[in-house]
Structure 1
Amino acid sequence: MSDDEFGFSFEDEDDFAAATTAVVPSGKRDLDHADSEEATVSSKRLKTGNDLKTAPSPSIVLANRILRERFGLNGFRLEQQGAITRLIEGGSAVVVFPTGGGKSLCYQVPAVAFRYQDEELGYRKPGQSGLTLVISPLIALMKDQVDALLRRGIKAAVLNSSVTRDQYLVTQDDLRNGRLDLIYCAPERLNNEGFTASLKDLPGGIRLLAVDEAHCISEWGHSFRPDYLKIARFAEEAKVERVVCLTATATPKVADDIRDAFSIPQEGLFRTTMYRPNLRLLAEANTKDTDYKAKLFTHLRKYPGPTIVYVTLQKTTETLAVELTAKGFRARPYHAGMKPDIRGKTQDDFLVSSDMIVVATIAFGMGIDKPDIRSIVHFDIPDSIESYSQQIGRAGRDGKPSVCMFYLATKDFYLRNIFTYGDRPSLRSLRLLLEDICSPAHANLKAGDTFTLSLYTQSKETDIKATILGILYAQMELKFKLFRAAGAIYNNYKYSVKDANALSRDASPAASAIKKAPGKKGPKWTQIALEELAKSTRIPRADLVRKLDEWNDRGTIQLEKQGVENTFRLERPLPSTPKEIDAIIKQLDEAMEATEKQNIARTESLLNLITSKRCFSRAIADYFGESSDVSEVCGHCTWCETGKQVILPNEPPQLPDPVKVQKLLNTISVRDDARLLAKIAFGIKSPRITDMKLAQKDVFESMNVCNFQELLRVFTKACGM
């Protein structure tokens, strides 16, 4: 990047090279006293070249020096410098930059700066510089960033499901010895007691906690993830010095939620407008009889170049990519259900292509650094204004004209409703869940005791999707304070001997116990019951697991683990009376209902934005509280270009057909869950529907043109509920 590209230049670079580095507090920072510490922040947000004529603060000098020396860049963009210098000087920040706005540098530069300060000013001994912990939900993005940092000589590592055992051991050794500048992990890893304990005891502590996709913290955010709520609790318990929360999409309400979670004052908010003058925002409304694909083919020929076509269903990515290929386009599908190597190859090919089209679900796009995407097409409606804004923000990062087309149709609401209504569990499901958790087997457990459950089995038995089950457990942990997640264990271990001599030479207590353990011995595999073995030998289960992992790493055995069970540590005795359990069920159901209504409202907000009589760009700016950054008319959206309103066709949902209702009731004998019957009629799969093979019946999806709530009313009456 060049200085001119971002609208400012350095007037006197000699001043930057000659200045000294900054002094910052070396002790751990109390997040509850952020306001008092902010008074020590001396630098101001610098947006123009005129501001830089005054003598820069030492923190600004250090930040720019690192930017040039370690990242090969000549200048910061817009609010980057203000956020980075604030962090270097000990403050916390919330960074709301659009997709491609350079959020990563806001924690990478400070992460390097801490070691510079310690080495050059002698604040801390070698190995005591602490590190920056980056929480991100995107495995591919973590790996890409770590690889890029390593190429720049910045010591970084990632801990997620993609790393090998050897890589994990090396990273753990680097952590213990203070050799890392940054470490990346997913928010779910904070459920692992061993991992969080090791972070709390790091040499030098956690200097900076960076929370990527921070809108997930807010229940008002478009992709709320309850595991994100645990991050603030971890930050307090681990006494992290400062926090930076980063997101591309945050309304004022969401930004306030993020600030409140980490006690960050208003002056810690750094926001850059999402408005992109080079993006042409187009929309067309189509009836159910419209030939969408013909329109798409015409559009893609008119606007060639690297393109992402967003659809809702995984199956659609594959069928549409095939049809595009048949029409002469270079097209590939992309969705989360594909094999990782195929997804990786598709992404790599797209990054270097000048004409490739990727037909993708929302799994594609996050973290992709491709400046010349010329077109974004929403073939199906996104779930919210936030998602729409984030996805169109991937086009035209090189500043050249790019086109974003939005095809709007009533058919899209059926697809969106599959996800919205499919996520909410029934009262029957919630009761089964609470009865399993508060079972007689757990009745005598006290605070501090642990219990294990298979969430995979529980999902099938309660008819609650795995993702929703995770949300419910997080609510019981954070809202009701029943327990804390304490990691996961495997309940089924089996091994095959590869080096019998090495196995026989190992005479350690754990090795001897495993070799003598009773178990199922087959021609190749030996199964062992670790729980029983640990009890009978009084050797800790962790020691037995460690020995098996050691043998596997050395090639002595081939080890397979199955049957994941989640462990929870009680904060207080579990509810035992029907009244207590009913109260929790009621509150969980109310929370699920509120989420359901909120998701519907988000989609309706997007619909209203596209069909209103006003500029699209201005409407988006208003939604995100950026009205002052955009004029009333942008001149490059459908409304500004045509002055015509995009009108959704009048295709209201049909009333449930009594004949079809009766046929479903005759075919499906279930009467204990009206919501299940409504899902079958609408075409929504669930664990119970899959287990009973009900999706194969001809009544499945037989009433997908109806309103789901009306179907629920009809089947509630039929079930006598």
Structure 2
Amino acid sequence: MSDDFGLSSDEEADLVAATDEVVNGKRSHHSDHELVSGNLKKRARIGCVTNRSDSPSIVLANKILKERFGLHGFRLEQEAAIARILDGGSAVVVFPTGGGKSLCYQVPAVCFRYQDEEAGRRISQSNGVSLVISPLIALMKDQVDALLRRGIKAAVLNSSVSRDYYLATQDDLRNGRLDLLYCAPERLNSEGFIASLKDIPGGIRLLAVDEAHCISEWGHSFRPDYLKIARFAKEANVERVVCLTATATEKVSKDIRDAFSIPSEGLFQTTMYRPNLRLLAEANAKGTDYVAKLITHLRKHPGPTIIYVTLQKGTEVLADELKQRGFPARPYHAGMSTDVRIKTQDDFLASKNMIVVATIAFGMGIDKSDIRNIVHFDIPDSIESYSQQIGRAGRDGKPSVCMFYVSTKDFYLRNIFTYGARPSLRSLKVLLADLCSPERKKLRAGDTFTVSLYTQAKDVDIGAITLGIIYAQLELHFKLFRAAGTLYTTYKYTTKDPNAISKDMTPAACIIKKSAFKATKWTHIAVDDLANTSKLERADFVRKLNQWNEQGAIELKTEGVRNSFRLERPLPSTQKEIDDIIKQLDESMGSTEQMNLDRTKSLIHLITDKKCFSRALAGYFGETGNNAPEECGHCTWCETHTQVLLPNEPPQPPNPAKVQKVLDKISVRDDPRFLAKVAFGIKSPRAGDLKVYSSGVFESMDVCDFTELLKVFTAACKADEKEA
């Protein structure tokens, strides 16, 4: 039976049996190494103690575990990690999916109040708060709901909460009524939010960073906003940090530790080996009836199932085919409405036979112990992703099957994402020219400027995610500016209490009432114009409108998001400086592209090697010794000792006639990478603007190697340049 915190006791029993030597080899913890961060200013706190079963920290942790969480004992490395945190140290926790990572910050968050009372501290002030950074909105809500059911004071601040909830949470923070606060990493881009966190009475006792592999550029899902968390920890004087992830190689673990100056003894890791998971793989050649093979597999292995595919459209097509064959299948992807996604997830959690055909948007934080099948209909992007996804099966400890279908066609889909993410040199030049415009070059350190990243992404032909990474690099590596939050270009409202508005005679209210433009339904306010033509600041008008909204006097609606940045130093003024930044960004993007290609190749090598899958997984994540057997006995290699061989279907060389057709249909010659993307079938804003999707050349050379296409179109562009 699974508890509210994503950890099945049956599964833990199996893990303990399989990893007895790991448990008996727990690390020792010496007081002279119990550091939070070498650069953090720390207040006096409980001294670190040796990790003994009778230590005050362990006794308290077990008491809280039983009384507040309803569990009777910690498993594997949980107790050691929690003891370190309670003794004042920081930690990195690498447990497999379903391994109980959340308890490693939830238990300490509750324990702090008891520690303070025993030490006679903080009696007349707030006990502070534990801040949890997580990118998963659904997971945050589920955990907060579970904690509240346990009588533990927790709240979440993300884009899904109402204004009233936000205000109530802020009041709880100011008055020390919260043990845990959950928020997304993007919140740390808001100067106002950071300021409110720094002013929390009692401070931030513990900073928990979920999905911490996102910190590392070597990680499989690097997120630039995660790099800002370590900076925030120093600036907010955070007492201690715990970073948590289900997948981390030795290099990624070191990156995480280095970001927060956590010594090696602060790493707590349990084996990836799952004795109840049968890991199977099959290679499919062109012409294979994939759906027929899948149906045979599903009939042989019934039960709740997640089938992972790459494209959103693919989830709908495959789910429909399965449904027509009598299977209770439904699609799931990020493009669906929130209501449909929530309904699908809730129905899956309650079902005993439902099949969800999903992109990677599904499964993160899913607390379902009886998933019997994981099927990779398309290849994932890395060993880390594969490991995370199969980890969602069989959390109840019962036998479960993970099938991996691999074919050369999958590389085309995967390469669309890999090559599509890298911006061209031309796009980087356009971006830096826009960013370092003559107007912005006049700004000084401390001045702010705003950008609509949505509009800019289209203008410079760079995807939104990649553009966010570039801005993070400009902020963290080049130290040009600092994200200062977001603002809106459009404010409008409908009046709910005219009397309250008419009685408000403050300067901001008077100017708003005098200048407002009333349309059929909405009253429009040009806040920027008001700031320019009055003695008040823009913030004064925004604050007044929000105040009316909070009081129920109006219903406020905002549109047109713009990101605000505060300059750390003047923007580059010479072309040489700008060219140097472009060169470094291009090299960085090239390295990322190659890393992503190598990750996919490593996964294919793991599946097609003459080696036990379980052993290979353990080796990839740095497990040595007896953490996993030489042969598990329950993977394709161990069961058959027959190598899974990829069909010999090499890419075709670029067809000169098709190359010429692309050049005839698309007149631009300033970006060979753009032309290669068109031929390969990679969509982009510029391709839409030039109407290439209906030109007959889009995706016309998807059987070729992208790098060969790039060479051909680079040569063609250079030849045209010489002729001109």
Q: TM-score, normalised by structure 1?
A: 0.93
**What is the CA–CA distance in structure 2 between the aligned matches of 1:566 and 1:436, rounded to whole Å?**
15
Give the conservation status (yes or no) of the 8 Å contact 1:34–1:263: no
**What is the CA–CA distance in structure 2 between the aligned matches of 1:649 and 1:610, rounded to whole Å?**
13
**What is the CA–CA distance in structure 2 between the aligned matches of 1:181 and 1:695, rounded to whole Å?**
53
**What is the CA–CA distance in structure 2 between the aligned matches of 1:112 and 1:370, rounded to whole Å?**
25
**Which residue does the alignment assign to 2:482?**
484
Mapped pair 1:41 → 2:48: yes
The Cα offsets for residues 323-375 of structure 1, whole Å up to 9 and x where unpaired, read as 11110100111101111111011111111110000000000011001110001
**Which residue does the alignment assign to 1:166?**
164
**What is the CA–CA distance in structure 2 between the aligned matches of 1:33 and 1:542, rounded to whole Å?**
33
**Which residue does the alignment assign to 1:407?**
405
* Higher mean displacement: 29-38 or 122-131: 29-38
Q: How does 1:300-699 map to 2 (within 5 A)?
A: 300-517=298-515, 520-628=517-625, 629-699=627-697
**What is the CA–CA distance in structure 2 between the aligned matches of 1:696 and 1:124, rounded to whole Å?**
68
Give the conservation status (yes or no) of the 8 Å contact 2:332–2:358: yes
**What is the CA–CA distance in structure 1 between the aligned matches of 2:450 and 2:487, rounded to whole Å?**
9
**What is the CA–CA distance in structure 1 between the aligned matches of 2:500 and 2:203, rounded to whole Å?**
40
Q: How does 1:16-165 map to 2 (within 5 A)?
A: 31-32=38-39, 40-44=47-51, 56-165=54-163
**What is the CA–CA distance in structure 1 between the aligned matches of 2:477 and 2:556, rounded to whole Å?**
39
Give the conservation status (yes or no) of the 8 Å contact 2:109–2:206: yes
Give the conservation status (yes or no) of the 8 Å contact 1:127–1:179: no
AA matched with 1:233: R
Distance 1:8 1:308, change over 3 A: closer
Distance 1:243 1:6, change over 3 A: farther
* Higher mean displacement: 688-697 or 222-231: 688-697
AA matched with 2:671: D
Q: 2:210 aligns with which of 196, 202, 212?
A: 212
Distance 1:538 1:31, change over 3 A: farther
**Which residue does the alignment assign to 1:17?**
none
Q: 1:5 aligns with which of 9, 13, 19?
A: 13
Distance 1:479 1:81, change over 3 A: same
Distance 1:279 1:558, change over 3 A: same
Give the conservation status (yes or no) of the 8 Å contact 2:37–2:261: no
**What is the CA–CA distance in structure 2 between the aligned matches of 1:690 and 1:139, rounded to whole Å?**
32
Q: 2:277 aligns with which of 279, 299, 322?
A: 279
SS in 1 for 2:208: strand
AA matched with 2:560: G
In the alignment, structure 2 segments of 5+ residues that lack a partner are 1-7, 18-30
Give the conservation status (yes or no) of the 8 Å contact 2:37–2:262: no
The number of equivalent residue pairs is: 696
**What is the CA–CA distance in structure 2 between the aligned matches of 1:278 and 1:581, rounded to whole Å?**
55
**What is the CA–CA distance in structure 2 between the aligned matches of 1:361 and 1:603, rounded to whole Å?**
17
The Cα offsets for residues 661-693 of structure 1, whole Å up to 9 and x where unpaired, read as 111221122222111111111111112222333
Deviation at 1:37, TM superposition (A): 11
Distance 1:32 1:632, change over 3 A: same
AA matched with 1:547: K
* Higher mean displacement: 77-86 or 526-535: 526-535
**What is the CA–CA distance in structure 2 between the aligned matches of 1:251 and 1:131, rounded to whole Å?**
31
SS in 2 for 1:706: coil
**What is the CA–CA distance in structure 2 between the aligned matches of 1:362 and 1:2, rounded to whole Å?**
26
Deviation at 1:39, TM superposition (A): 12
The Cα offsets for residues 585-618 of structure 1, whole Å up to 9 and x where unpaired, read as 0000000000000000000000000000110000
Distance 1:581 1:7, change over 3 A: closer
Give the conservation status (yes or no) of the 8 Å contact 1:6–1:78: no
**What is the CA–CA distance in structure 2 between the aligned matches of 1:498 and 1:73, rounded to whole Å?**
50
The Cα offsets for residues 361-402 of structure 1, whole Å up to 9 and x where unpaired, read as 000011001110001000000000000000000000111000
Deviation at 1:495, TM superposition (A): 2.4
Mapped pair 1:290 → 2:288: yes
Give the conservation status (yes or no) of the 8 Å contact 1:130–1:178: yes
The Cα offsets for residues 19-63 of structure 1, whole Å up to 9 and x where unpaired, read as xxxxx99xx96543799999953233x8xxxxx5xxx11111100
**What is the CA–CA distance in structure 2 between the aligned matches of 1:131 and 1:555, rounded to whole Å?**
30
Cα RMSD after superposing both structures: 2.2
AA matched with 2:48: V
Q: How does 1:222-237 map to 2 (within 5 A)?
A: 222-237=220-235
Deviation at 1:164, TM superposition (A): 0.4
Give the conservation status (yes or no) of the 8 Å contact 2:427–2:460: yes
**What is the CA–CA distance in structure 1 between the aligned matches of 2:43 and 2:620, rounded to whole Å?**
32
AA matched with 1:541: R
Give the conservation status (yes or no) of the 8 Å contact 1:38–1:91: no
Deviation at 1:560, TM superposition (A): 2.0
**Which residue does the alignment assign to 1:221?**
219
Give the conservation status (yes or no) of the 8 Å contact 2:283–2:407: yes
Deviation at 1:2, TM superposition (A): 5.8
Deviation at 1:537, TM superposition (A): 2.1
The Cα offsets for residues 92-123 of structure 1, whole Å up to 9 and x where unpaired, read as 00000000000000000000000122234421
| Greater RCO (CA < 8 Å, at least 6 residues apart) | 2
AA matched with 1:561: T
Deviation at 1:538, TM superposition (A): 2.0
Give the conservation status (yes or no) of the 8 Å contact 1:2–1:74: no
AA matched with 1:160: N
Q: 2:247 aligns with which of 246, 249, 259?
A: 249
SS in 2 for 1:636: coil
SS in 2 for 1:429: helix
Give the conservation status (yes or no) of the 8 Å contact 1:618–1:627: no
**What is the CA–CA distance in structure 2 between the aligned matches of 1:238 and 1:659, rounded to whole Å?**
61
Deviation at 1:541, TM superposition (A): 1.6
**Which residue does the alignment assign to 1:264?**
262
Give the conservation status (yes or no) of the 8 Å contact 1:6–1:77: no
SS in 2 for 1:32: coil
SS in 2 for 1:627: coil
**What is the CA–CA distance in structure 2 between the aligned matches of 1:31 and 1:414, rounded to whole Å?**
46
Distance 1:551 1:390, change over 3 A: same
Mapped pair 1:183 → 2:218: no
* Higher mean displacement: 572-581 or 121-130: 121-130
AA matched with 2:530: L
* Higher mean displacement: 591-600 or 224-233: 224-233
Distance 1:6 1:64, change over 3 A: farther
**What is the CA–CA distance in structure 1 between the aligned matches of 2:510 and 2:437, rounded to whole Å?**
37
SS in 1 for 2:205: strand
Deviation at 1:437, TM superposition (A): 1.0
**What is the CA–CA distance in structure 2 between the aligned matches of 1:602 and 1:383, rounded to whole Å?**
7
